Amino acid sequence: TQLLEQSPQFLSIQEGENLTVYCNSSSVFSSLQWYRQEPGEGPVLLVTVVTGGEVKKLKRLTFQFGDARKDSSLHITAAQPGDTGLYLCAGGSSNTGKLIFGQGTTLQVKP
Amino acid sequence: KAGVTQTPRYLIKTRGQQVTLSCSPISGHRSVSWYQQTPGQGLQFLFEYFSETQRNKGNFPGRFSGRQFSNSRSEMNVSTLELGDSALYLCASSPRGPGGGTEAFFGQGTRLTVV
């Protein structure tokens, strides 16, 4: 069974601070996706990484896929209150066709 | 391009009843996946349909079923509702399927409350 573990589960920081969210597994994934979800809404895709060692930047967000394609991280620089939400990582398998989600990290950024 | 549309947004049902939820994917997307989201379990995969065929199934009882129509619209049905079925049900559409690195786009979800 493929599992993805996200850490931390909860994070409460002040505006302007930096943070990193981790997503780890013992399984290899074909791709790793990061989503952000706000209360009562569906997850919104932020980025997809497919190559081991790949780094993608989206404004203040930096995503990294581990060399072995088993783990990923999301780093936010100078967090803002608008970054508040649930961040989900999801591993995709081209063999099974499934997307496996981590439990999520709830981020609160206080002004 | 219109996004993924799920109806209804909110639903209240009584234990023992059945419910049908609907999902209209993005035009041109042939894969529709369904997920159950609860605070305790997170996002759990229910099943995926591709070109009217169920291609993948999660670990849910047979009370949970689905289908996909020729226009790629999908429905999921839950029979004999239990209190534990209360959750946000999310539908995601994808051009070819979510596992191979293609993007999955989610609808806003249907909030089901079983009383």
Report DSSP letters for chain A, one per residue: ----EEE-SEEEEETT--EEEEEE-SS--SEEEEEEE-TTS--EEEEEE-STT-EEEETTEEEEE-TTSSEEEEEESS--GGG-EEEEEEEE-TTT--EEEP--EEEEEE-
What six digits make up the tokens of B18?
């059945």
> What pLDDT score was predicted for residue A34?
95
Q: Hey, of A72, A95, A98, which one would you mutate to test binding to chain B, going by the most B CBs within 10 A of its CB? A: A98
Residue B99 has pLDDT above 90, yes or no: no
Residue B100 has pLDDT above 70, yes or no: no
> What pLDDT score was predicted for residue B56?
85
Of B56, B105, B111, the CB nearest to A96: B56
Of B97, B101, B106, the CB nearest to A42: B106
> What pLDDT score was predicted for residue A97?
67
CB-based contact B45 A94, cutoff 8 Å: no
The pLDDT tens digits for B28-53 are 888 999 999 998 888 999 999 998 99
Give the residues across from B31 on adjacent strands.
Answer: B50, B94
- Asked if B66 has any chain A CB less than 8 Å from its own CB, the reply is no
* Rounded distance between C-alpha atoms, residue B56 and residue B113, angstroms: 26
- Computed over every residue of chain A, the mean pLDDT equals 92
* Rounded distance between C-alpha atoms, residue B84 and residue B38, angstroms: 9
Give the residues across from B106 on adjacent strands.
Answer: B92
What residues in A contact B88, CB-CB < 8 Å? Answer: 40
